[in-house]
Homo-oligomer: A and B are copies of this chain.
Amino acid sequence: MKKIGFIGLGNMGKPMALNLVKKGYSLKVFDLQPAPTEELKAAGAEVMASAIDAGNDVDVLITMLPSSPHVEALYLSDTGLLAHTAGKPIVIDCSTIAPESARKVAKAAQQFGIPMLDAPVSGGTAGAEAGTLTFIIGGDATILERTRPIFEAMGKNIFHAGNNGAGQVAKICNNMLLAIHMAGTAEALQLGVNNGLDASVLSEIMSKSSGRNWSLELYNPYPGVMENVPASRGYQGGFMCELMNKDLGLAMEAMMHSKSTSPMGALAKSLYAMHCNNGHSKEDFSSIQKLYSGKS
């Protein structure tokens, strides 16, 4: 389990791959962009000419891509990885994609005799760099155990959510709930401020009461309440609204696919889409606070 292929060296993938190199793994990497591959090369990785080359003769193949179509195309096309990878590595897809896509690719992999895990992450670029990501994993538990050291080289919390696709489902549920309490926290703080309260005092009270939640305690969206969070630096950095909007889109698809109903999640989706449309898509998702500011 020492030879790893790594495809997708974006904002998340690059620091994850660098951490693997630092921990002594031997990496074959591929990305269409030259800059991150140069950086990996300098760190000691072998840069490959194609995705298929990166997947050949490795123990484990990791992919980190933007969306379901990218993942399906990479693995499933006639010229894709499953049909052309030599050596049948364990495949770990860390992309955040639709559970259905994850299940579809895993099923196809199985037919090629390739074991697969879906392992979306949370923790952002900061977590990727610090090696403190959370992995939420779907697939066979024994495969997870065999690859656990690799996950531990990149992250801190490693969860097994269930069968293939379950990692994606759990991440989607978590992020939908996060969007709901972030928007709710922003509303509650604005309601308090508009009624004469100090946002810091109100945050302190609710943090010790039943309103308590991650957004309020660790990622307070009201400017000035907390240091070292995006709200204290003009909502720069962090987790962009457009990414939250994307994850909420996956939640809506999972909701419709399973004939579920999620009115609060659907409203959070509407509010984030509206906020993105108003020009805030590149700001941190706690900037949803702006949607409530001002008084008529």
A→B interface (CB under 8 Å): 99, 122, 134, 136, 157, 159-163, 165-166, 169-170, 172-178, 180-181, 183-185, 187-192, 194-198, 201-202, 204-206, 208-216, 219, 242, 245, 249, 251-271, 273-274, 276-279, 281, 291-296
Q: Beyond A277-B259, A296-B281, is A188–B177 a contact (Cβ under 8 Å)?
A: yes
Contact A296 B201 (CB under 8 A): no
- Which chain B positions have C-beta within 8 A of A252? 252, 256
Contact A276 B260 (CB under 8 A): no
Q: Beyond A188-B174, A195-B258, is A271–B267 a contact (Cβ under 8 Å)?
A: no
Contact B196 A166 (CB under 8 A): yes
Q: Beyond A136-B205, A173-B211, is A274–B261 a contact (Cβ under 8 Å)?
A: yes
Kindly state the separation between the CA atoms of A205 and B242 in the bound complex, as whole angstroms.
24
16 more A-B contacts (CB under 8 A) besides A161-B205, A169-B196? Answer: A134-B208, A159-B204, A169-B195, A173-B191, A177-B211, A177-B213, A180-B183, A183-B263, A191-B254, A191-B260, A194-B259, A195-B260, A212-B214, A261-B270, A261-B274, A266-B269
Q: Among A260, A266, A268, A269, which residue has the most Cβ atoms of chain B within 10 A?
A: A260
Shortest Cβ gap from A293 to chain B (Å): 8
- Which chain B positions have C-beta within 8 A of A99? 195
- Which chain B positions have C-beta within 8 A of A295? 258-260, 277
Number of copies: 4
Q: Among A99, A170, A264, A291, which residue has the most Cβ atoms of chain B within 10 A?
A: A264
Contact A188 B212 (CB under 8 A): no
- Which chain B positions have C-beta within 8 A of A173? 188-189, 191-192, 197, 202, 206, 211
Kindly state the separation between the CA atoms of A195 and B100 in the bound complex, as whole angstroms.
10
Shortest Cβ gap from A66 to chain B (Å): 15
Kindly state the separation between the CA atoms of A211 and B292 in the bound complex, as whole angstroms.
22
Contact A198 B162 (CB under 8 A): yes
Shortest Cβ gap from A130 to chain B (Å): 16
Output the nearest chain B residue to A186 by Cβ-Cβ distance.
B264
Contact B161 A197 (CB under 8 A): yes
Q: Beyond A211-B174, A277-B296, is A192–B169 a contact (Cβ under 8 Å)?
A: yes
Contact of A263 (CB < 8 Å), options: B245, B255, B274, B294: B274
Contact B194 A184 (CB under 8 A): no
Contact A188 B265 (CB under 8 A): yes
Q: Among A122, A177, A216, which residue has the most Cβ atoms of chain B within 10 A?
A: A177
